[in-house]
Amino acid sequence: MQLLLKITAIFLTILLLILVFWGIASGYFISVDFWILYGIIVLLDFLCINKLKNLQKE
C-alpha cells in the first residue's frame, strides 16, 4: 500500500509540474478549466501524501 501511494504521489507531482509548464507555454493561466484541473491534482497529491504520512505513523 505504501509503495502504491509513493508511486501515485510521485506521478501526481510530475503531472503537476508538466501541467504548470504547459500552462505557462500555452498561456492557459486565464482559463478556469486549467485552474480546476490544477486544483484537483494538488488536492489528490495532498491527500495521497497525507495518507502516506498517516500509514507511516502506525
Spans of all domains in the chain: 2-57
Cite the DSSP H helix spans in 1-58: 2-26, 32-57
pLDDT of residue 47: 94
Please report, in angstroms and rounded to a whole number, the separation of the first and last CA atoms in the chain: 13
CA distance 52 to 35: 25
pTM of the model: 0.81
CA distance 11 to 7: 6
At 40, give phi and psi (nearest 5°).
-65, -45
pLDDT tens per residue across span 5-57: 999 999 999 999 999 898 888 887 788 888 899 999 999 999 999 999 998 88
pLDDT of residue 34: 86
